Amino acid sequence: MSTQNFTYTGHPARVIFGFGTTTQLPDEVERLCARRALILSTPAQTSQAEHLAGLLGATCVGIFSGAVMHTPVDVSEHAVSLAKEVGADVVVGVGGGSTTGLAKAIALRTDLAQIILPTTYAGSEMTPILGETSDGAKRTQTTLKVLPEVVIYDVDQTLGLPPGISGTSGINAMAHAVEALYARDSNPVISSLALQAIKALAVALPKIAKDSTDRDARFDALYGAWLCGICLGSVGMALHHKLCHTLGGSFDLPHAETHTVILPHALAYNAPAMPEVMVALEGVLGPDPALALQKLARSVNAPTSLKEIGMPADGVERAAFIAMSNSYWNPRALEISQIRDLIGRAYEGAPPLATDH
């Protein structure tokens, strides 16, 4: 372990993890001294929201099933209006990053407590970070006001997650851990969690692709995703997340799929500036970690090109310009021509390329 000084900041959250833990929701609502719960979901997960409403009985005062990707401000404001109308004193979100983002947006505006039941491997339930989209741009902020009070991880909630979504959601989670390894404020506590998380997901995701009902693999994947979320919420991010926010917010590309495509290329770009991190990643991913991540995506039938997920061919130049428009820390200096090449390779689905400084 490095002998350098470091700072570690832990974020308070109550975590309940295991099989069948959803049944503990009423007790957790009561523990927060809440009496009027508004349940949140995406349209596709309305049935899961209704199941939670059944568990809560009269404590549930409404369901808002309009959560969508990238947390548009107008949707959040609509949900806030409903929360005020029904007099909610807690929001309960069931779903992935879209639902969690909505819960956080409501908490930011109302200070309502949040209970999150993740059904994917997004990890945002472990972070004080909120990204909201308006006028074609995604903006992020960090504030403890949006950190959920309780997270109920129920492996059973993930058994119905389709293998394809499981793969992209899991690699999206891995991206949080990979970038945590080379964050400006990285520390040995988070680095240890990151490597454990990456290994757990790298092993579990191919098993889930072959058998989506593999309970042991589902347990390991959700556990890995939880650790990835801790990484995301504890240290800063760099090039990978900046590119994904740019692509997602400006071209309305699917969130997890964008992370899946970009991760190998962003890692390859930074590789020359962080040899120790690459050695650590070789220990959990094998030789050439960037290429290994792209191969992992293929093994779980996930997309490996921006072209596949709806990126317009003429968007490469614009994406590079937007990504360079605001300065941010990265272990390797950012050069417009090389960022353009990176996005171009990701657009085509070419192998990730590590170039010298």
pLDDT tens per residue across span 212-262 = 999 999 999 999 999 999 999 899 889 999 999 899 888 989 989 999 999
68-97 average pLDDT score: 96
In this model, does residue 82 exceed pLDDT 70? yes
Distance CA 109, CA 130 (A): 12
Q: Which CATH class is domain 14-158?
A: alpha beta
Mean pLDDT for all residues in the chain: 95
Confidence at residue 334, expressed as pLDDT on a 0 to 100 scale: 94
Alpha carbons 181 and 177: distance in angstroms, whole number:
7
CA 284 to chain centre: 21
**Longest distance between any two alpha carbons in the chain, whole Å:** 62
Structural contact between residues 89 and 149, judged by C-beta atoms closer than 8 angstroms: no
User: Of residues 11 and 20, which shows the higher confidence score?
Assistant: 20
Stretch 160-165: mean pLDDT, rounded? 92
Confidence of residue 296 (pLDDT cuts 50, 70, 90): very high
Domain with CATH 3.40.50.1970 in the chain: 14-158
- pLDDT confidence of residue 356: 65
User: In the 8-state DSSP scheme, what is residue 153?
Assistant: E
Query: In this model, does residue 328 exceed pLDDT 90?
Result: no
Residue 1 has pLDDT above 70, yes or no: no
Tokens linked to 297: 């995506």
Mean pLDDT, range 121-137, rounded to an integer: 90
What CATH number is given for 163-348 in this structure? 1.20.1090.10
Higher-scoring residue by pLDDT: 10, 54: 54
Task: Answer whether residue 123 shows pLDDT above 70.
Answer: yes
- State mean pLDDT over 69-96: 96
What gap in Å lies between CA 305 and CA 302, rounded to an integer? 9
Contact 238, 182 (CB under 8 A): yes
CA distance 258 to 306: 7
Q: Is the pLDDT of residue 357 over 60?
A: no
Of the given ranges (250-254, 267-271, 279-283), which has the lowest mean pLDDT? 250-254
Altogether, the residues listed in the chain come to a count of 357
Q: Where in the chain is the domain with CATH 1.20.1090.10?
A: 163-348
Q: What is the mean pLDDT of residues 329-345?
A: 96
Give the pLDDT confidence score for residue 30 in this predicted structure: 98
For residue 273, the tally of other CB atoms under 10 A from its CB is: 14
Neighbours of 219 (CB within 10 A): 18
Cα–Cα distance, 292 to 285 (Å, whole number):
6
- Identify the CA nearest to 307 among candidates 257, 341, 265: 257
pLDDT for res 28: 98
Which parts of the chain fold into alpha helices (H)?
25-31, 46-56, 73-86, 97-110, 155-158, 163-181, 188-210, 215-234, 239-251, 255-270, 275-285, 289-299, 315-325, 336-348
CA triple 49-36-21, angle to 5 deg: 45
Output the pTM of the full model: 0.91
Question: Please, which contacts does 84-88 make with residues 24 or more away whose CB atoms are closer than 8 Å?
Answer: 84/110, 86/36, 86/38, 86/61, 86/62, 87/36, 87/61, 88/36, 88/37, 88/38, 88/61, 88/62, 88/112
* The pLDDT of residue 38 is above 90: yes
Model pLDDT, residue 81:
98
